[in-house]
Structure 1
Amino acid sequence: PSGVNGKAGGRVRFLEDSDADGVYDKSTVFLDGVNFPAGIMSWQKGALVAAAPDIFYAEDTTGDGKADKQTVLYTGFKQGNQQLRVNGLRWGLDNWVHGANGSHHSRYTAGIKIKSSSGQTFELGGFDFRIRPDEGLLEPLSGPSQFGRSRDDWGNWFGVQNSFPLWHYVLEHRYLSRNPDFAPPDPRRILTKSNPLVFPARPPQKRFHSFNQSGRFTSACSPAIYRDGHLFSDDNVYAFTCEPFHNLVQRVILKRDGESFTAERAEPKDDLDFFASEDRWCRPVMARTGPDGALWVVDMYRYMIEHPQWLPAGGKAEMKPFERSGMEYGRIYRVYKDGKPPRRIPRLDKSSAKELVEHFGDSNGIIRDMAHRLLVQRKEVSATKALVEMAETHASAKARLHALCALDGLDQLSATLLKTTFHDPHPELRRHALRLAESRWGEHPELLKASVRLTDDPHAAVRLQAACSWGESKSEVAGHALAKVAIRDAGNPYVRAATFSSSESHFDRLAQAAIEHGVLIDEVLKLGARRKTSLDALLAGLMKPGKDGYEPEQFRSLGGWLNHNPKVSPEMVKVMAKAREVVADDSASSPLRAAAVGLLARQPENLAADKHRLDDLLTPRVASEVKLAAVQTLARVGDDGLPDTLLMGWLGYLPQERSRVLDTLLQRKEWTRTCLKAI
């Protein structure tokens, strides 16, 4: 881990299967003396290599198998612990190369700036990224993932961290970062518990720390979505995560759950994980779908996998003789079914444009990706007609999707085809059509109008993308569509976040919809903190009763506003007076009375009278919902006599009411002392 005699000792080998029997029989050192290469991807006539602080391009120009040309494309990535370095490099459906920043949390690489060969400097910080190597472009992505950033056939990206074997990036950073008034949530959905159990082939080996994590994920890395139908006969989508410390690879089943996924272990009744070795030296560190349909697993093969930095003094001394044990080893497994050997791998570099397009119909996602990338890199505009026909008519949705995205990469994608794709029977095609259309809203307003139908799409992932993409337009059409999907999916936290990220140009329309439907009002008030004119209109709407009087959401929202802005206007005084009437009205609904309680005790001149009103609500005859609201409001007032007030009715409280009272009295030391004395 400290290099070879203090110097960079990383190598990149070029493996060849010269007789096409499925076994590599020739190995050539393509690069030597590299500073811990952690990611590689074939590119043009050579390869992209991620080796912090750089991502560079290497090429063999003489034909001897050894790189004699190296060009640094990006530099500035953090050089830290070897398991926390830039890595990944995977082709995306968006025609960019995606990479992982290599951090275990976003603060680790905070403040990082990346310089590219184009002379530009990019603020990256603690995010993952995508690059266009030939243009010197870089954009931050939601992240970071520690080792490996993988995607499925539909462009959903997944990440990992030592203790978390898999998560899904539901929201993209480029959407979440565009509205300065919006504090974005975690863009990920964590698909497993922290440090979930693993099922190794041998008892856990000796640990030097974190003993409670024995038999659990502690070195999760390289998540892989299996992207072929060759290995498994069912229709499930499988994800694999390597766990080198426990000598295994765990398999989970991914199932669509709205705009994201759920994950469950694929061998729930077995006491062994999918790939589990009895060999202590076996260290799986990468899993990939092979272009032959097999699952490829890279075994680093080392006696010691723990970095010395994480060992206590005694452990460092004990393990020091073994730090480099196994450095001459390493292997790649191909996992396939008995009687169903891996398929022969086609030579795509020799394929014509027509043949590359035909490969979009391949069942193997890696083959489709390579064909896609080669078409775009070669600028095969001659394939446009075939791609359009495939996008419109091919039986495979995956083929249609690659055709659509390749047309975008070739700058041959038409608004007409996108409008057609809004009606595609597969939701992932409709989702990507929205993503691809968002940069064309201004030039093709008819495209924006055609997209409005997707506000009622039955699939949450499509509506989520719509909420993101409409934020790229300032048109009223986009604003109305955004408001509609915001109301429909008000209870969906991801769609809600997408809506708020898109609201910079559509705040007034969103605020109007929130008032009309009585939802999202608290959030809209926070979003509008810098928009006095819009906010005044929103507050005026909240203070105006409907034909049947006030709604609970109006009282609650006004109470939330006063919590942040305690100044009481003359109009608000009138609403408070009405709230007192509602509180005193035993015939009013409990939700309405409870919401009205939150507007009491806001004015010094009415404080004493309001406290008496609140005290009167702490009796058995009052509905629990109203009583709990009274407890909350009295706690906000913060009177020294609160413990006596709340404990007076103790014997008449229901269990949940007693729990709330105790929680309230534990908020301040003096209240807690009084409570303990009473006990």
Structure 2
Amino acid sequence: MRTDKNFKKNSVAVLAHTLVGLSIVGCSYAVLEDDSQSGSGTSETEATTTNLGDREGHDMTPPIAAEDIPPAPVLTVPEALASMQIQSGFELENVAAEPYVFNPVALSFDGDGRMWVAEMTTFMPDLDGNNEEIPVGSIAILDDTDGDGKVDKRTVFLDDIILPRTIALVKGGILYSDQTQLYFAEVKAGDELGVREVVDPDYARGGSVEHKPNGMLYALDNWYYNAKSDRRYKVLPLDEKLPEGSEEVYRNQYWKMALSKTESRGQWGISMDDYGRLFHNWNSVPVQGEFLRPNSLNRNPGLVQEIKAHSIGDKRVYPVRINPGVNRAYLPETLVSEGPDKGKLVNFTASSGSVVYRGNQFPDEYYGVTFVPEPAANLISARRIVEGQGELSGEELYPQSEMLASTDERFRPVNLYTAPDGTLYIVDMYHGVIQHKEFLTTYLREQSEARDLDENNNNMGRIYRLRWAENELPEKPQLLNKTSSQLVPYLAHANGWHRDTARRLIVQRNDRSVAEEITRLVVTSNDHRAQINALWTLEGLKAVNRESIRAGLNSPHAKVNVSAIELLTRLSENEQQEFATDLVRLSTSDYEIALQLALSAGELKIDSTMELLTSVLNEYGDRPLINEAVVSGIAGREQELESYLGDDINEKLSSLLNLVGNQQIVESNVDYLVTREQIQYMRGQEMYEGRAACAGCHGQHGKGQEGMAPPLANSDWVTGESEVLIRVLLHGLRGPIKVNDVEYEFPLVMPGLADNDSFSDQDHADIATYIRNNWGNAAGAVSADEVREIREQSATQNQPYTASDLGR
């Protein structure tokens, strides 16, 4: 560990000698632009340099003449601030810059407001990404000791990490990850490192740099959730029973860690609203939100259902600088082709760590707005979340404009956070090249070299504060040394960061002595956010009680009712029975309340469960998600429900109930393959989830991604003649297409791998074998000879296929 309040600039060289491909923020950038729109170049550079993003048939003629492209020099902080255009009423301030921070990609605030920053200090040291796995990545603690709003103290807590990508606070220390594993690092007095142990060796195993889990968001339900992952983690007292369906993966002197499955979501960055609903993104989809809390629809093991994520607003962006330095900028419609905005990016291509703003420093109308960084276009966008029945949508807060946009091509905002002072913190990696080497094209190499974007990167990094100019900033929080009783009022704080932090500290201390105080807060508060947060704090303490539930059910705010209904299931059978009349009364009062009753009714131990569900179905049975919720919540009692409803059961519910236990989804057909084919399957799985990056769009479960890619599970494109799948693997595919008579529009072009020399015919055969024998598919293996034959037949194919090209 190294601490130096007056950290000297000459120490930059110590940390700056390497840097790797930020595909983790570039995740958005690289994945969209490269995974989705591959082609090959004809530039002279190709003769001497192999660029893995190149594909045959793409004309990489620059769309913007070199003399029309402004330079991209390294700017000082004052110069960088001058390059920013922000909306009226706001002010942008620098909080930290080199030499206090280097290549930041994620941060977490501790209870005293200090920033714990993950620094990916081996990010693309050159255009070939050499030495990216040197273990010199850092976790640094940044502090403002004199209260002037700027960091003046840097403490290097860890400096031997390979590509750190996740940082979260936990009782006794921190959770962080490298490119493979999740770790616990104990923090002792004086910020000294104590024990350091692996929590989950498979947290980020496999996949390219941009296709790995990240986030570790401590959510309302007291689980940690991640982007690019279907795993969630919960800290529990050492003697506490594990949650149903979870397993213990780690324990230390402070707590044990439970691991459970959840829906796979997002790519880089994760956030939540006041109600525990998660928000995330894909590279070309700026932000998506889930109408239900996580795991709501997966309670019935007999029927696989997942929560759908809805796009919040459209994909358009409005840069203030032209964007020729985008990996596929030469493709039509990537940049504006004519007019005053010629050369500017049209749509998101690098959506990164968005945030639902829950601070109290901005005016009230900004509360709950989602802010999204776009590092490829050097801007931050703002979208208002619009809530409908069973779905979320969004609209631009500033039509045809952005919250913040820069003319500095090196401004790379990659993560956003609601800060302890109620402002919005912006993590700027400040790096010229954010495209990982696995997807770099000759075109982008030449663009980078022309403006020296591959230089002066390893010693840079900035963190900014976006604030409302007229409002003062509060003093730094001091929560770590407060007693649990002193923390209880913070559960009702106007700033969501304080509410979340107070809940985490109380729950992870397992201090049930404050249960009565928290209950009193639920009963007396007029703030629905405080009531909800307090209820879930009681849940984390295993201290939910009748008084708190009654207050929650009697709240005039529907979302408080929703949490109270969910947590009612934590009471004993006799206690639950006391609320039977209240639940029947609520069942016809509001759609969202009825939806939660449908989710929870099966777990309730009350005599009137079936009467309750009948009431919900009669009133709302034709509304979105109601029937799915009933089936999820009624697990184990399906026949009882069918019998009770009799002929009054609606068609959709009947179909869903009939699917329970009969859903034709097989985890894998691998056992029915011969040994040689099984080996192919295993190799294919590794590539699907790894360097071929198929899972990034089609998902680990082969179900596809909304707005990204169609499903592979039970797909006639996959299980039909192997030639079709082979051709698509080799040369790619453009939509729209029909899968089992359902039309799928997807905005991106699936890339082919034919021109990527790192993939052999055997590799293609292995990937095809895996896809054709997983997720209910049972179509047999594919040989390298088959791939070789199709490759020869299709040698002149220089563009991705369309459905009609393949006779579909």
TM-score normalised over the length of structure 2: 0.58
| Distance change (3 Å), C-alpha of 1:388 and 1:526 | closer
Which one of 249, 252, 263 corresponds to residue 142 of structure 1?
263
Cα deviation for residue 423 of structure 1 reads: 1.4
Mapped to 2, the partners of 1:230 and 1:84 lie a distance apart of 34
Change over 3 Å in CA distance of 1:122–1:39 after alignment to 2:
farther
Query: 1:340 is matched with which residue?
Result: 471
* Match among 285, 308, 316 for residue 437 of structure 2: 308
Using the alignment, how far apart are the partners of 2:235 and 2:150 within structure 1?
38
CA distance in structure 2 between the aligned counterparts of 1:464 and 1:298, rounded to whole angstroms:
38
Determine whether 1:524 maps to 2:660: no
Deviates more, 1:223-232 or 1:93-102: 93-102
Distance across 1 between alignment mates of 2:398 and 2:250: 34
The SS at the match of 1:272 is coil
The offset of 1:296, in angstroms, is 0.6
Q: How far 1:531 moved relative to its partner?
A: 9.4
SS of 2:326 mapped into structure 1: coil
Of stretches 150-159 and 498-507 in structure 1, the one that deviates more from structure 2 is: 498-507
Q: How does 1:173-322 map to 2 (within 5 A)?
A: 174-184=295-305, 186-193=307-314, 196-209=315-328, 211-213=332-334, 214-234=345-365, 237-268=368-399, 271-313=400-442, 315-316=444-445, 319=448, 322=453
The change in CA–CA distance for 1:38 and 1:156 in structure 2 (over 3 A counts) is same
Q: What SS is found at the alignment partner of 2:407? A: coil
Match of 1:162 among 260, 280, 283: 283
CA distance in 2, matches of 1:92, 1:396: 19
In structure 1, how many angstroms separate the alpha carbons of the residues matched to 2:455 and 2:628?
48
Question: RCO (CA 8 Å, sep 6+): is it higher in 1 or 2?
Answer: 2
Q: Which residue does 1:87 correspond to in 2? A: 214
Whole-angstrom CA distance in 2 between matches of 1:181 and 1:375: 36
Name the amino acid aligned to 2:590.
H
1:131-176 per-residue CA deviation (whole Å, 9 max, x = no partner) reads 9993220122223221122111222211211111121223456443
Structure 1 residue 9: deviation in Å?
3.0
Question: For the Cα contact (< 8 Å) 1:131–1:139, is it kept in 2?
Answer: no
Paired residue type of 1:280 = E
Q: Matches of 1:414 and 1:233 in 2, distance apart? A: 33
Q: Quote the residue 1:329 is aligned against.
A: 460
Change (3 A) 1:252 1:323: same
1:446-505, Cα deviation, whole Å (9 max, x unpaired) = 156245236535332222221111122476522331232133222223222111223444
The residue number in structure 2 matching 1:11 is 138
Mapped partners of 2:531, 2:232: distance in 1: 38
Equivalent pairs counted in the alignment come to 516
CA deviations on 1:293-323 (whole Å, 9 max, x unpaired) are 1111111100011112122355457658855
Amino acid at match of 2:378: N
- Once the 2 structures are TM-superposed, how far is the Cα of residue 178 of structure 1 from its aligned partner? 3.7
8 Å CA contact retained: 2:223, 2:233: no
Residue identity opposite 2:201 in structure 1: T
Secondary structure, counterpart of 1:166 in structure 2: strand
> Any idea what the Cα deviations from partners look like across 1:577-603, whole Å, max 9, x if unmatched?
xxxxxxxxxxxxxxxxxxxxxxxxxxx
Q: Give the aligned partner of residue 381 of structure 1.
A: 512
Conservation of the 8 A alpha-carbon contact between 2:235 and 2:256: no
CA deviation after TM superposition for structure 1 residue 36, in Å: 1.5
Name the SS of the counterpart of 2:577 in structure 1. helix
- Work out which of the two has the higher radius of gyration on C-alpha atoms and give 1 or 2: 1
Report if the CA contact (8 A) 1:250-1:273 is conserved: yes
How far residue 179 of structure 1 moved from its aligned partner, in angstroms, is 3.1
Within the candidate set 554, 561, 571, 1:440 is matched to: 571
- Closer, same or farther: CA 447–86 of 1 in aligned 2, 3 Å: farther
CA distance in 1, matches of 2:179, 2:429: 20
Equivalent-residue separation in structure 2 for 1:448 and 1:183 (angstroms): 31
Higher helix share: 1
Structure 2 residue aligned with 1:20, among 139, 147, 156?
A: 147
For the 8 Å contact 2:353–2:414, the answer to whether it is kept is: yes
Structure 1 122/43 Cα, relative in aligned 2: closer, same or farther at 3 Å? closer
Q: Shift of residue 21 of structure 1?
A: 1.7
Q: 2:200 aligns with which of 74, 96, 109?
A: 74
Paired residue secondary structure (1:359): helix
Percent of aligned pairs with the same residue?
Answer: 24
C-alpha distance 332-495 of structure 1, shift in aligned 2 (>3 A): same
The Cα offsets for residues 96-132 of structure 1, whole Å up to 9 and x where unpaired, read as 2222235xxxxxx8xx9999999x999999xxx9999
Change (3 A) 1:455 1:60: closer
CA distance in 1 between partners of 2:232 and 2:217 (Å): 21
1:152 aligns with 2:273: yes
Q: Which amino acid aligns with 1:39?
A: T
C-alpha offsets along residues 250-304 of structure 1, whole Å, 9 cap, x if unaligned?
1011233234433111001xx4310111110000001111110111111110001
Deviation at 1:28, TM superposition (A): 1.6
Report SS of the residue matched to 1:160.
Answer: strand
Given that 1:131 and 1:138 are in contact with CA atoms closer than 8 Å, whether structure 2 keeps it comes out as no
What amino acid is aligned across from residue 527 of structure 1 in structure 2? L
Call closer, same or farther: CA 1:458–1:257 in 2, change over 3 Å.
farther
1:353 paired with 2:484, answer: yes
Where structure 2 has 5 or more consecutive residues not aligned to the other structure, the ranges are 1-19, 22-121, 123-129, 335-344, 663-803
CA distance in 2, matches of 1:123, 1:449: 25
With the length of structure 1 as denominator, give the TM-score of the two structures.
0.69
- Secondary structure at the counterpart of residue 539 of structure 2: helix
**What is the one-letter code of the residue matched to 2:416?**
A
